[in-house]
C-alpha cells in the first residue's frame, strides 16, 4: 500500500500552494461573502492545512476552525503549521473522512474544501455531507481547478511545438482523467459541475468565481510566488508527470479508452517534456503568462 505522500495531491503540498490566490482578491471575496461574520468553520480534506490557514485571517477574530483529514501524518503537519503561525488556539485538526463527516447537522457557519472533490470517488456524496453540517444561512465554499484548461497555455517551452504535439499532450491528459473517474479514483473535471450539485442539495443562492492569480514565470523569477513555483518545478521527479506515477497513468489511460500498446511511447514523451521544462528553468529561459482556471464555487443553505 502506498504512503500518504505517494498520493497525487501530496505532490502539491509545498510552498507554491500558498500562492494559488492573490491576497487582495481573497479579501475582496471575503467581503462579498461576509466571511468576517463566520464564527465557526470546517475545512474538509484539510491535508497539511494550507487552505485552512489561508482562510483563518478572513474570518471573525474569534472564529474557531476545524480541519478534518484522513491521513494522521498530514494532521500532525497541519497542526505544526498552525502553531508556527500562532493559530494553535483557534485551529485544530481531527481525523475523519469526507464521505462521513464526524459532526452533527448544522454545526458550522462555513464548510469548505480545496482540491478535494476532484480526488474522491463520489463528489456528490461529499458535497451533500458538507451541506448537511453547515447551519441554515451558512455558506458552503468549494475551491477546485479545471486543470485541462491550463494545458492549452503555450509559454516559451511550448511555443514552437506543432499543433499535433499540443493536441497529443492534451488528449493524453483527458484520456487519463476519464479513466481516473471510471475506476473511481476521482473526477478531475468535476469543478465545472459543482454549481449544479450545490443547487440539487437545496442551496438557495449559488455563485461561481475564478481566481485572478496566474502561474506567471519570467526570469529572473524574483517574486515569492515565482520562487515557490520554480522550486516546485525543479523539485519534480523525472519519472512523474502531472503528479502521476507511471503505474497510475497507465491504469487510467487504459481505463479511459487509450490503447495499451501506445502508452509507453506517449508516457516517454510526457516525461521528456517534463525534463525539458525543468532544464529551461535551470537556464532561466522558461517564461509564461501562466493562465489557468481555479474556481471558487459557493452557496448558502436556506434559513
- Each residue's pLDDT tens digit, 63-104: 999 999 999 999 999 999 999 999 989 999 999 999 999 999
User: Phi and psi for 31 in degrees, rounded to 5?
Assistant: -65, -40
Question: Residue 113's domain is classified under what CATH number?
Answer: 3.40.50.150
Where would I find the beta strands (DSSP E) of 205-287?
205-210
Torsion region of 299: left, alpha or beta (phi above 0 gives left; psi -120 to 50 gives alpha)? beta
The yes-or-no verdict on residue 196 having pLDDT over 80 is yes
What cell was used for 118? 476532484
- Each residue's pLDDT tens digit, 135-177: 999 999 999 999 999 999 999 999 999 999 999 999 999 999 9
- Each residue's pLDDT tens digit, 104-132: 999 999 999 999 999 999 999 999 999 99
Over residues 179-199, mean pLDDT: 97
Total of domains in the chain: 1
Q: Domain residues for 206? A: 4-300
Residues 6+ apart with CB under 8 A from 211: 20, 21, 22, 25, 294, 295, 296
> What is the value of pTM for the model shown?
0.93
Residue 268 pLDDT class (50, 70, 90 cuts) = very high
CA distance 68 to 102: 9
Over residues 46-65, mean pLDDT: 96
Amino acid at each position: 500500500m502506498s504512503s500518504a505522500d505517494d498520493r497525487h495531491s501530496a505532490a502539491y503540498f509545498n510552498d507554491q500552494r500558498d500562492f494559488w490566490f492573490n491576497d487582495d482578491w481573497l479579501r475582496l471575496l471575503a467581503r462579498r461573502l461576509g466571511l468576517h461574520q463566520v464564527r465557526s468553520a470546517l475545512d474538509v480534506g484539510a491535508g497539511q492545512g494550507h487552505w485552512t490557514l489561508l482562510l483563518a485571517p478572513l474570518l471573525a477574530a474569534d472564529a474557531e476552525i476545524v480541519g478534518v483529514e484522513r491521513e494522521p501524518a498530514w494532521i500532525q503537519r497541519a497542526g505544526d503549521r498552525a502553531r508556527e503561525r500562532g493559530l494553535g488556539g483557534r485551529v485544530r485538526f481531527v481525523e475523519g473522512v469526507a464521505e462521513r463527516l464526524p459532526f452533527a447537522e448544522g454545526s458550522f457557519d462555513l464548510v469548505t474544501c480545496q482540491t478535494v472533490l476532484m480526488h474522491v470517488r463520489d463528489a456528490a456524496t461529499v458535497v451533500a455531507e458538507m451541506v448537511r453540517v453547515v447551519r441554515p444561512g451558512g455558506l458552503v465554499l468549494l475551491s477546485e481547478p479545471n486543470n485541462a484548461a491550463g494545458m492549452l497555455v503555450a509559454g516559451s517551452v511550448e511555443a514552437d511545438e506543432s499543433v499535433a504535439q499540443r493536441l497529443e499532450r492534451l488528449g493524453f491528459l483527458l484520456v487519463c482523467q476519464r479513466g481516473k473517474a471510471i475506476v473511481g479514483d476521482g473526477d478531475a473535471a468535476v469543478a465545472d459541475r459543482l454549481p449544479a450539485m450545490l443547487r440539487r442539495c437545496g442551496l438557495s443562492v449559488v455563485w461561481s468565481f475564478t481566481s485572478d492569480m496566474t502561474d506567471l514565470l519570467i526570469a529572473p523569477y524574483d517574486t515569492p510566488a515565482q520562487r515557490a513555483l520554480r522550486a516546485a518545478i525543479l523539485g519534480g521527479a523525472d519519472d512523474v508527470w502531472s503528479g502521476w506515477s507511471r503505474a497510475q497513468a497507465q491504469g487510467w489511460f487504459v481505463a479511459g479508452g487509450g490503447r495499451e500498446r501506445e502508452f509507453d511511447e506517449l508516457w516517454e514523451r510526457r516525461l521528456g517534456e517534463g525534463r525539458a521544462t525543468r532544464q529551461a528553468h535551470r537556464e532561466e529561459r522558461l517564461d509564461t503568462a501562466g493562465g489557468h482556471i481555479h474556481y471558487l464555487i459557493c452557496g448558502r443553505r436556506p434559513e
